Structure 1
Amino acid sequence: MSGYPWAAFAVNLGCAAGAALVVMLVAFAVGVARSLHRVVDIAWGLAFAAVAAVSYGVSAGHGDDGRRLLVLLATLVWGLRLATHIGYRGRGRGEDPRYKRMLDKAPHGHRASYALRVVYLRQGALVWLISLPVQAACYIRGPIDTAARAGAAVWAAGLVFEAVGDRQLVRFTSDPANHGRIMDRGLWSWTRHPNYFGDFLVWWGLFLMACGAWQSVVVSLVSPLLMSFLLTLGSGKRLLEQHMADRPGFTAYKARTSGFFPLPPRRGA
């Protein structure tokens, strides 16, 4: 265990938690001022970017510079792209139905404090936990290895899948002729959730970048496992499909299209 700088990493854990908290508190202030708590979805990507930037700075002199830079850039690109996309997609819209249902449960007169606790602080805690590979990789003293290169390839594939899927959906929904229709073209004909599948690859890729020391593997494994659960069984695929279940054409789309992992459309479904 002497090969891994545990004391410095412990400091990083605290700094990362502080970075995530600051981003979420700023988002909370904006959400209260605008009575629009969907801004937390923009803060989600920004918080990961903040954690990566803080971890890169705090880890100077403790980990390999090449690996630190690789993880920093990968997280920044993913987080800032996601925040930009969500901000663009949500402009001019009202509250997200998910948050409206959640905040309708708030005790009378305590909606803001309930939102802070249930929406913002909870997501901030998830950012801190899921970002463990980003933090841990910054303290690996060995240079970029085969696992890190493989992780970069998996990350890149995930980013492309996520970005292309998001772009295809934006173009589809922006056409008035497609109003009320199910998006079943491009990547969306191979999987019902190309953006979630891309996220899945991104975080397994970041985990591989943190596999240069067994200590960081042990610390980081919870991250891709938790993200995989959230994307498939938690707040991602499961909730979205519950929301779409009654839309015309969704049953047929579901019958012919893979639920998560990309596969050729099933003929005759």
Structure 2
Amino acid sequence: MDIWIPIASVFVFNLAAYFIAQVKKDNSIIDILWGICFVIPNLVSLLISGNWNERTILTFTLVTIWALRLAWHIGSRHSGKEDFRYQDMRKRWTAVSTGYYYWAAFIYVFMMQALFSVIVNSSALFVSIWSSPEFFALDVIGAAVWAFGFIFEMVADYQLQKFRDDPSNRGKLIKCGLWRYSRHPNYFGEAVLWWGIFIIAVSVEYGWITVYAPLFITLLIRFVSGVPLLENKYKDRPEFQEYCRETNVFFPWFVSKIPAEREQLSGA
């Protein structure tokens, strides 16, 4: 099967998303659609190749569960207004010219997101196209690693949302639950689940070459788009500086000291 067909489907999908975003004046809808960028090429490849077996069904199911959960999580918090990050981009690009804004939004938001999704999705796509019917122990291990990362991320997101929903926590930083052990446990879980997909891909001949996929998303989250943006947002707050001294930035680890009153989730 021509691998370019499922890859092209992502760019076509994001092209459509781009036009919708311009009508709605909200480029942040791409965040809601990010997970769908992973489902589409895997589904296209399976429909074209007919390569349905235990491993491809497992991988497609795991990716789809992750994508739907992410779309719901981001979509349920979407206020209907463009996220502040994209508002900032819009202001900077429009300041150059209106034409430059449309070009920059197309390339740097929608097409770049499509490219990034193709890279991160490589392990799953490799399985969808080239997997053989045999099922190995690595498939089970990979699924277990994915489940650990998925649950870790989901619990961290739930704890954060619960903390934010309590009016008494307004203006405060969450330092309880999984957030005691990592300043970004949701991002850690996100990285782990993609390593799980990669482990499944290793069961396929030459699947190991897609190691760049989980490595890319891990480095992207840790050093570019995820952790640095939030760290920079709160870096001047004394409470956050204290939090940094107590808690690992990414990998969960035991903290030296957390006040007792912060050990429980608010309202628990």
- 2:249 is the alignment partner of 1:256: no
Structure 2 equivalent of residue 114 of structure 1:
104
Do the aligned residues in 2 keep the contact of 1:133 with 1:223 (CA within 8 Å)? yes
1: CA distance, partners of 2:108 / 2:21: 14
Structure 1 equivalent of residue 33 of structure 2:
43
Give the alignment of 1:1-269 within 5 angstroms.
8=1, 11=2, 13-61=3-51, 65-92=53-80, 94-106=81-93, 107-110=96-99, 111-138=101-128, 139-218=130-209, 220-267=210-257
- Superposed displacement of residue 142, structure 1: 4.7
Structure 1 equivalent of residue 262 of structure 2:
none
3-state SS in 1 of match to 2:65: helix
Provide closer, same or farther for how the CA distance between residues 206 and 240 of structure 1 changes in structure 2, counting only shifts above 3 A: same
Q: CA RMSD in A?
A: 1.7
- Superposed displacement of residue 205, structure 1: 0.3
- Superposed displacement of residue 248, structure 1: 4.6
Structure 2 equivalent of residue 5 of structure 1:
none
- Superposed displacement of residue 47, structure 1: 0.9
The amino acid that maps onto 1:151 is G
3-state SS in 1 of match to 2:171: coil
1: CA distance, partners of 2:18 / 2:199: 33
The amino acid that maps onto 2:64 is L
Do the aligned residues in 1 keep the contact of 2:150 with 2:193 (CA within 8 Å)? yes
TM-score (norm. length: structure 2): 0.90
State how many pairs are aligned.
255
1: CA distance, partners of 2:9 / 2:125: 12
3-state SS in 2 of match to 1:48: helix
3-state SS in 2 of match to 1:133: helix
Gaps of 5+ in 1: 1-7
Gaps of 5+ in 2: 260-268
2: CA distance, partners of 1:171 / 1:30: 32
2: CA distance, partners of 1:75 / 1:103: 31
Moved more, 157-166 or 209-218: 209-218
2: CA distance, partners of 1:198 / 1:268: 22
Structure 2 equivalent of residue 3 of structure 1:
none
Do the aligned residues in 2 keep the contact of 1:56 with 1:69 (CA within 8 Å)? no
- Superposed displacement of residue 68, structure 1: 0.6
The amino acid that maps onto 1:96 is D
Runs (4+) off by over 4 Å = none
3-state SS in 2 of match to 1:221: helix
Moved more, 244-253 or 121-130: 244-253
The amino acid that maps onto 1:238 is P
- Superposed displacement of residue 177, structure 1: 1.2
1: CA distance, partners of 2:97 / 2:44: 38
- Superposed displacement of residue 41, structure 1: 0.5
